[in-house]
Amino acid sequence: MSEMTLVQAVNRGLFEAMKQDPDVLVLGEDVGVDGGVFRATDGLIKEYGAERVIDTPLSETGIIGTAVGMALYGLKPVAEIQFLDFIYPAFDQIVSELAKFRFRSGGQYPCHVVIRAPYGGGIKGGVYHSQSTEAYFCHTAGLKVAIPSTPADAKGLLLTAIHDEDPVMFFEPKRIYRTATGEVPDGDYRVPFGQARTVREGEHLSIFAYGAMIPPASEAAAALAKDGISAEVIDLRTLVPLDEAAAVASVEKTGRAVVVHEAARFCGFGAELSAILAEKAFYSLKAPILRVTGYDTPFPYALENVYLPNAARIEAAARAVMQEG
Amino acid sequence: MAKAAQSAPTVAPGVSHALSNDRLLSMYRVMVLARAIDERCLSLQRQGRIGFYVPASGQEAAQIGCAAALRDEDWIFPAYREIGIALWRKVPFRALMDQFIGNSTDRVKGRQMPNHYSFRDHNFVSASSPIGTQITQAVGAAMAIQRRHVPQVTATFFGDGATSSNDFHAGMNFAGVYRTPTIFFCQNNQWAISLPRNRQTHSATLAQKAEAYGFSGVVVDGTDVHAVYDAVATARERALAGEGPTLIEAQVYRFGPHSTSDDPHRYRSDADVAEWKRKDPILRLREELRTSGALSDETESQLQEAVKREISESIEAAEGAPALDPMTLFDDTFAQRTPRLEEERAEFQRLLREGVIRP
């Protein structure tokens, strides 16, 4: 166990995976000599050399297209997209190719690439360094989507991703890269996909969140507790596969649900989770499910503090669901 | 006739890698087979026995000349018009026919439209419909080959239209930077559906685009198996010697429609097609083999007969194969089904059982 930040845990996870398996390699813009703009790949090139830590030309299409080719051949590439906002030139490779290779080849060509990308707002990044567009990838069959919220999960989910057999989108909440700190197990530590984490147990309502929304959700739960409202906070950890059983069980217990994400509301991940809860836990619900999300506008620069969900908004939504039923 | 650009940076002479008569005969046989399959499949599509077809007539010398210069261990990253490559790799027509139908013996389990086949045993990677996406992948696989230090190359196949795609430029750039053992094999068949080559790019040749990425590009007459074979053999030797990638522009003509959904009369004249058909790669090789005495009337008729028989028997067998099991829909999205997919699969199975959905 060592105390570290979330971004350090990503770095430790990469070191561990590269140590374990010579087929693991890292590629992306500025990931080598520079160690990545957030330092997630710091030191890897010194340890493993430029053959396994590849500084690429500035082309997301090229990064993901070549990563797909490497994976088809049998390597385990971990590609970094510098910001999730810049992933779109590679969208064709991800959605049309990576996600479909195993299926379209009748199982002949598995294609296991891990794509790491820092996502989310709260860093004064404006419209092009702040977006949370995980829903695009959740909507594409064939991709797994993992989003850690703690240093331990960052390392554990990343190692699971790298040892998985399928493509994994690994979105890192850059807002809490350095503010989220905690103990991280040494060595080969893995957190299984599809298992939500109960951040805080509660009786009266369930708050579902992931990534950088876990701290404000926890803060809201603490504030509610002072008024005797017991909120359960569930960190979904992986959106695909989703721990539907845990979500349903929590709502069967509490009867109320608030779903939180930074992404815009319309067709966001919260819509899917709300639909699942409506389909599978309708008769346990005592109040409508509420979503606390970013607004259906592009991400703003000067107004990001009022765009992003915060503890106060989550708390207000929780009080609203408590008033009904 | 769409004029071949004259200002090629380099032109492969087609003499340094000689082909024996035996080899030429086996190439000729596969070319004849590919052409006959095209003709038969266009008619099968019209009869409604297959849903769609992408013909490659006119491109046989380019494809088989190229395939013959590669080794079985080299990885093919195809587009959807590479039937000659698959046939040269000894993929039986039956396997292609299974894919055209999407039956229970289709290697890709009915997942894709006709012509989007994949044969891992033959190092023939999966084709998709988006244009150019295989190009960067071929470069990535070549980077993996470099990492493994094995004597192999990757060859990627695309048309003139794909030279405008993102992946062409990204792939060429990465290949140049990392000097990958990659052969970029462009079959410039003069038409990207309705758009003629001269409207695709203002470059004098497609091959010259390689120069900007720091490696060599060559133009070859794609109707001449010797020229194509020589260019690819040379590119392969260079790649294995660590001299990096090569772009080869094989100038050919697409005799047929883009696909069975296309009507080329809307954009090109019969005279244009007729002019190019004078350079029909099969007639050209046949003439050469007859002149050299390698191909007698008897051999020719035996060959034609054997090809016809193979095609008819394969169609019959593929059409007689059992239909695809609908439950296979839920295989291969992931290595293991997620709980959600298990749930959907169970629902699907129930709907099938209740007759709500029928295969």
Q: Does residue A228 fall inside a structural domain? A: yes
Task: Pick the residue of A18, A88, A103, A113 with the most B CBs within 10 A to test the interface with B by mutation.
Answer: A103
- The percent of residues in chain B predicted with pLDDT above 90, rounded, is 95
At A40 the pLDDT is 98
Write down the catalytic residue from A112, A129, A204, A261.
A129
Q: Are residues A214 and A157 in the same domain?
A: no
Beta pairing partners, A291 = A259
- Measure B104 CA to nearest chain A CA, in Å: 11
Coil, strand or helix at B71: coil
B173 contacts in chain A (CB < 8 Å): 57, 59, 62
Bridge partners of residue B124, in order along the sequence = B76, B119
* A8 and A33 housed in the same domain: yes
Task: Give the pLDDT confidence score for residue B15 in this predicted structure.
Answer: 59
Strands B191-192 and B195-196 come out as antiparallel
**Which of A51, A66, A142 faces B334 most closely, judged by CB atoms?**
A142
Q: Cβ–Cβ of A65/B140 closer than 8 Å?
A: yes
Where does residue B336 rank: exposed (0-12), middle (13-18), buried (19+ CB within 10 A)?
Answer: exposed
| Residue where a domain terminates, one of A127, A158, A184 | A184
pLDDT in the model for residue B1: 32
CA pair distance A322, A275, nearest whole angstrom: 20
How far is the alpha carbon of A289 from chain B, nearest alpha carbon, in Å? 21
Give a yes or no: residue A192 inside a domain: no
Nearest Cα residue to A171 out of A61, A44, A299, A80: A80
Determine, for residues A166 and B334 on separate chains, whether the beta-carbon distance falls below 8 Å.
yes
Residue A276: closest CA among chain B residues belongs to which residue? B340
Same domain, A280 and A310: yes
Instruction: Print pLDDT tens along chain A (325 aa).
Output: 999 999 999 999 999 999 999 999 999 999 999 999 999 999 999 999 999 999 999 999 999 999 999 999 999 999 999 999 999 999 999 999 999 999 999 999 999 999 999 999 999 999 999 999 999 999 999 999 999 999 999 999 999 999 999 999 999 999 999 999 999 999 999 999 999 999 999 999 999 999 999 999 999 999 999 999 999 999 999 999 999 999 999 999 999 999 999 999 999 999 999 999 999 999 999 999 999 999 999 999 999 999 999 999 999 999 999 997 7
Q: Does B170 sit within 8 Å of A61, measured CB to CB?
A: yes
Cite the active site residues of B.
254, 258, 267
Query: Would you say residue A191 lies in a domain?
Result: no
From-to residues of CATH 3.40.50.970 in chain B:
21-323
CATH number belonging to the domain at B21-323, selected among 3.40.640.10, 3.90.1860.10, 3.40.50.970, 3.90.1570.10: 3.40.50.970
Residue-wise pLDDT tens digits, B224-263: 999 999 999 999 999 999 999 999 999 999 999 999 999 9
Q: Which residues pair with B301 in a beta bridge?
A: none
**A59: nearest CA partner in chain B:** B170
**HEC per residue, B20-55:** CHHHHHHHHHHHHHHHHHHHHHHHHHHCCCCCCCCC
Element at B144 (helix H, strand E) = helix B133-148
Residues A160 and A229 in one domain: no
The alpha-carbon gap from B85 to the nearest alpha carbon of chain A, in Å, equals 17
| CATH number of A36's domain | 3.40.50.970
Chain B neighbors of A54, CB-CB under 8 A: 143
Contacts 24+ apart (CB under 8 A), B310-315: B310/B33, B310/B93, B311/B33, B311/B36, B311/B37, B311/B40, B311/B93, B313/B94, B314/B92, B314/B93, B314/B94, B314/B97, B315/B40, B315/B44, B315/B97
Closest residue, chain B, to A195 (C-alpha): B339
| Closest CA in chain A for residue B156 | A69
A190 falls within a domain: no
Q: Are A165 and A211 part of one and the same domain?
A: no
pLDDT for position A94: 98
Nearest to B126 among A93, A105, A166 (CB): A105
Q: For B77-99, write each residue's pLDDT tens digit.
A: 999 999 999 999 999 999 999 99
Are A150 and A41 in the same domain? yes
Domain containing A314 equals: 197-323
Residue B112 tokens read as 């894709």
Least CB–CB distance from A70: residue in B143, B331, B336: B143
Chain B residues whose CB is inside 8 A of the A77 CB are 140
Are B77 and B134 in contact by the 8 Å Cβ rule? The answer is yes
Query: How many structural domains is chain A composed of?
Result: 2
Are residues A255 and A319 both part of a single domain? yes
Average pLDDT over residues B206-229: 97
The stretch B181-187 carries a mean pLDDT of 98
DSSP A239: E
A16 inside domain = yes
> Are the Cβ atoms of B338 and A108 closer than 8 angstroms?
no
Tell me: do A138 and A210 sit in the same domain.
no
Domain boundary among A153, A184, A215: A184
Residue B93 one-letter amino acid: F
For residue B13, pLDDT beyond 60 = no
In this structure, the strands spanning B216-221 and B246-251 are: parallel
Task: Report pLDDT for B8.
Answer: 45
Which residues in B lie closer than 8 A to residue A57 (C-beta atoms)?
A: 170, 173-174, 177
**Ordered DSSP codes for A170-214:** EEEEGGGTTT-EEEE--SS----TT--EEEE--SSEEEEE-GGGH
Q: Do B130 and A72 touch (CB under 8 A)?
A: no
- The DSSP element (H or E) to which A234 belongs, if any, is strand A231-235
A170 and A43 share one domain: yes
Cβ distance of B147 and A142 shorter than 8 Å: no
Same-domain pairing of A110 and A243: no
Helix or strand or coil: residue B6?
coil
Which of A184, A216, A246 is a domain's end point?
A184
| DSSP classification of residue A308 | S
Token code pair at residue B229? 């074979």
The string of DSSP letters for B204-234 reads S-STTHHHHTTSEEEEEETT-HHHHHHHHHH
- Do A109 and B77 count as a contact with CB atoms less than 8 A apart? no
Neighbours of B241 (CB within 10 A): 9
Rounded distance between C-alpha atoms, residue A79 and residue A90, angstroms: 11
Report the C-alpha gap between A186 and B163 in whole angstroms.
48
Q: Which whole number is the average pLDDT over B100-124?
A: 98
Tell me, yes or no, whether A170 lies in a domain.
Answer: yes
- Report yes or no for ipTM above 0.85: yes
Domain assignment of residue A173, yes or no: yes
| Same domain assignment for residues A111 and A149 | yes
Residue A201 within a domain: yes
Collapsing DSSP to helix, strand or coil, A80 comes out as strand
Query: Which residues does chain A have within 8 Å of residue B75's beta carbon, measured at their own beta carbons?
Result: 73
